[in-house]
Chains A and B, each alone.
Chain A
Amino acid sequence: MWAEATKVASIGFSVVFITLLLLAISVKVMSFFCKKIQSRGGK
């Protein structure tokens, strides 16, 4: 019971953390490309 509960909690938290890390990276990449496209449009 405890082993399974710990597994659920650790997997659950790891997935949340990794997902938000991925989202943070995606936001960073998206912002970079948006700036790049905007600066090209400005020229």
Chain B
Amino acid sequence: MFDAMMGGISGLVAGFVHLHWSNVVMMCIGGVLLYLGIKKDFEPLLLVPIGFGCIIVNIPLADLMEKEGFLRIIYDAGVITELFPLLIFVGIGAMTDFRPVLENPYTFLLGAAGQFGIFLTLLLALALGFPYKDAVTIGIIGACDGPTVIYVASQYAQHLLGPVSVAAYSYMSLVPVLQPPIMRVLTTQKERVTVMKTHQKTVSKTTAMLFPIIITIIGGLIAPKGLPLLATIMLGNLMKESGAVSRLTKASENEISNIVTLLLGISIGATMSGPVFVKPTTIVILCLGLVAICLDTVCGVLFGKVLYYVTGGKVNPLIGAAGISAFPMSARVVQKEGQKYNKKNYLLMHAMGANAGGQVGSVMAAAVMLSVLKGMGII
């Protein structure tokens, strides 16, 4: 009788007995993510499920990520198969307006410059001794685009999925804090006050509809390995621009995006189990991710400066900072910074062009990583 009672009690405390210190650390990190999402409004749609997933996966003996665990089933169904990021991309495409980039196609180049940090970080990661596939995955944090990062990580380095996703989403939400000091340091007062003319060019419906088709064909031919990323974002955009399938567009923007975001968030949180996550490597990855996003901004602004001099002072270099993929957050940051120095300056539409270019640029950078490295026989 006594033994049975003791057995029952030991069953009740087994969870506490098996609690490793790294599980406690991760529960605290999960709590911080929840705090940032709920109280500070930093990417709450993702940080809340990620934070909660992180807490529950660190409760011992629940076996949520074991073979039959519900988190393992969701993870295998959507992350391993790369379905979740692709479904989210259909929603992003349906929500993104590419008209600013159609009005000023040169802003595509700012979107390219904004991806330079990815490749510099790839170099840094290799220098620090990361294997090629891990280095590529770390570098892609610089894409500043959660689904792209998850897609590349699930192809190349599934063991890094947790740290790189958390880094990508956290730094995306910190764009308004990270970018302005870099923009100020790299530009002069004269450059910052540059007023850019707003040409209200009209983009016809045909042009807007042909855009996703042309981009998919050309981009797909150049980097076929990245076609799933490019095709899904462009499919979403084609549905939106055609207006023929408004039910599908609305479903992609709302229901599908919401459900997949929830499942994706909780699966990412599920990869953050203490013994796997609490390592010095994770800190290095988080630091490299920060470097990647800062370098993207540096290169974007420097390319903006090049355009400023090439055009004889017609382009405000600040818009280069919007060449990253954090859409539309970085465009808003540019607008705010521009107005700080010149109240008559309206950079939003130009910055939105660079930002939309950055959206395509980040997808292309991932596609190039997948195709070029394969073509070079490295991966």
* Chain A residues at the B interface, C-beta cutoff of 8 Å: 1-2, 4-13, 15-17, 19-28, 30-31, 34-35, 37-38
Query: For the complex, is B32 an interface residue (Cβ under 8 Å from A)?
Result: no
Asked if B207 and A11 make an inter-chain contact with CB atoms under 8 angstroms apart, the answer reads no
Q: Which 5 A-B pairs have the closest CB atoms?
A: A24-B108, A20-B112, A9-B119, A24-B105, A5-B126
**Shortest Cβ gap from B325 to chain A (Å):** 12
Query: For the complex, is B101 an interface residue (Cβ under 8 Å from A)?
Result: yes
**Shortest Cβ gap from B124 to chain A (Å):** 9
Query: For the complex, is B14 an interface residue (Cβ under 8 Å from A)?
Result: no
Residues on B with beta carbons closer than 8 Å to the beta carbon of A5: 122-123, 126-127
Which among B106, B206, B361, B378 is the interface contact of A16 at CB below 8 angstroms? B361
Asked if B368 and A19 make an inter-chain contact with CB atoms under 8 angstroms apart, the answer reads yes
Give Cα A19 to B369, complex, Å. Answer: 13
**Shortest Cβ gap from B323 to chain A (Å):** 10
User: How many chain-B residues does the 8 Å CB contact rule pick out?
Assistant: 41
* Known contacts A27-B211, A38-B204; is-contact A8 B122 (Cβ 8 Å): yes
Asked if B210 and A23 make an inter-chain contact with CB atoms under 8 angstroms apart, the answer reads no
Asked if B210 and A30 make an inter-chain contact with CB atoms under 8 angstroms apart, the answer reads yes
- Chain B residue, CB-CB nearest to A20: B112
Which among B206, B364, B378 is the interface contact of A19 at CB below 8 angstroms? B364
- Enumerate B16-54 residues with CB–CB distance to A below 8 Å: none
Asked if A27 and B105 make an inter-chain contact with CB atoms under 8 angstroms apart, the answer reads yes
Give Cα A29 to B373, complex, Å. Answer: 31
Residues on A with beta carbons closer than 8 Å to the beta carbon of B368: 12, 15-16, 19
Asked if B218 and A12 make an inter-chain contact with CB atoms under 8 angstroms apart, the answer reads no
Asked if A12 and B105 make an inter-chain contact with CB atoms under 8 angstroms apart, the answer reads no
Residues on B with beta carbons closer than 8 Å to the beta carbon of A37: 206
**Shortest Cβ gap from B218 to chain A (Å):** 6
* Known contacts A5-B122, A15-B372; is-contact A31 B203 (Cβ 8 Å): yes
